Amino acid sequence: MTDLILTINAGSSSIKFSLFTMAAATEVIRGQIDGLGVHPRLVAREGSEKVVDQTYPDGTGPADHAAALKSILALLQERHPDQQVTAVGHRIVHGGPDFKDSVRLDDTVLDRLKALNPLAPLHQPHNLSGVAAARAAFPHALQVACFDTSFHRKHPWVNDTFALPNQFYEAGVRRYGFHGLSYEYIVSRIAELGLADDSHKLVVAHLGNGASMCAIRDGVSIASTMGFTALDGLPMGTRCGQIDPGVLLYLIGEKGMTTEELTKLLYNESGLKGLSGISNDVRDLEESDDPNAARALDYFVFRVRRELGAMAASLRGLDAVVLTGGIGENAANLRHRILHDEEWLGISIDDERNYAKEMRVSTDTSPVQVYVIPTNEEMMIARHTARIAAQESVGTAS
């Protein structure tokens, strides 16, 4: 019987999953269940083949994470009856100041992670719901937490702190950065592609419904646009990005908004959705003739261009830029708008390559190379989980 790793990325109404060999070298199957509790849909692929695309009739589909995992387990047993899940790797958005690497999930670790829920209210509770469901579904499997914040824990102090009294930094109020699993994968992929010599000073833009940018020197994160929470930096699908804290004081003091109302505003009603009044989806906005849709995209482009300059300044130079994430990988028009007229940074874009969806979209003579590289957070989770499993196996043997 073959041992496998299951990776889980649990959101508020969805679970993304992938199945890997224990060596984490080969992905067996990937998919997701979304619309939990409303209109659930299960989609799964093996390689390029779609093996499941099921929308459940009303009232019959999985209503929560536990039920969704049972559906996933049934699919895996149907497709691969002679294989067993011996380890489960979980994407956990926030690891706080203490978790600098992936760890085995036990009750003590879970209690510490639950205490971080207020720092990532849009993600952390759902991540941990996925853990609870997986522990019930796979009681004998190793459970591993893989953190989006770990990659950024080597930030220099000046990129890690706020200009507040020092006791707040010591209490954990600091810049954590997120999307670390994505950035870590891109760094590994650059090495695999033989591009490392061109990327000592690298900026990666993870642009999707959640968006951030990271300055990376020789594979180490030194600055990120996200901070204490996943609200800071770039505007996102429904999140505001950088905002003057005086605005929040005004909304509390003059408009009487509660913490709950502010949380909903900043996490769920802002960003592209709030600016456009239409949608958080770039595809919808590009197709719309509403001027507010155009203005929302203008703002997004402006902020990405601004942060690109800031990240290059933190690196004191620039060798390469990588765009990834749903927008970075697929929105050629936005890539053009973000990267044109950036010769002052050493960037020269080849529009033919950009619209042809080639990996390298810079010109042959561009001093700074620009690449479009699909991210794979699941692969990174599987690698970390395999490493922890191997360490435990050695410990048991000794």
Residue-wise pLDDT for 240-296, tens only, equals 999 999 999 999 999 999 999 999 999 999 999 999 999 999 999 999 999 999 999
Q: Using 50, 70 and 90 to split pLDDT, how confident is the model at 396?
A: low
307, 233 contact by CB (below 8 A) = yes
CA distance 329 to 321: 13
Q: Are 90 and 130 in contact (CB under 8 A)?
A: yes
CB 300 within 8 A of CB 212: no
For residue 88, give both structure tokens: 């489960």
| Its pTM surpasses 0.85 | yes
Beta strands in the chain (DSSP E): 2-10, 14-21, 27-34, 41-46, 49-55, 83-92, 103-104, 142-147, 201-207, 211-217, 220-224, 320-324, 369-372
Nearest to 87 by CA among 105, 68, 110, 65: 105
> Over the chain, what is the mean pLDDT?
93
Q: Tell me the average pLDDT across 82-94.
A: 92
Query: Do residues 155 and 175 make contact, with C-beta atoms less than 8 angstroms apart?
Result: yes
pLDDT surpassing 90 at residue 38: no
Residue 66: its pLDDT value, please? 85
pLDDT in tens, 71-83: 888 888 888 887 8
Region 39-68 average pLDDT: 88
Into which CATH architecture does domain 194-372 fall? 2-Layer Sandwich (3.30)
Give which of 235, 312, 224 is closest to 270, Cα–Cα. 235
The answer for residues whose C-beta is within 8 angstroms of residue 280's C-beta and 6 or more apart is 209, 236, 237, 238, 271, 272, 273
Alpha carbon distance 247, 24 (integer Å): 46
Tell me the catalytic residues: 148
Kindly report which listed range (121-125, 219-223, 350-354) carries the lowest average pLDDT score.
Answer: 121-125
Phi and psi torsions of 338, nearest 5°: -70, -40
> How many angstroms separate the CA atoms of 188 and 194, rounded?
10
**How high is the pLDDT of residue 1?**
58
Query: What's the confidence (pLDDT) of residue 395?
Result: 62
Residue type, 254: E
Distance CA 364, CA 181 (A): 30
| Residue 113 near residue 121, CB atoms below 8 Å | no
- Domain span(s) for CATH 3.30.420.40 in the chain: 2-156+378-397, 194-372
CB 378 within 8 A of CB 18: yes
Mind listing the pLDDT tens digit for each residue in 156-207? 999 999 999 999 999 999 999 999 999 999 999 999 999 987 789 999 999 9
Which CATH number is associated with domain 2-156+378-397? 3.30.420.40
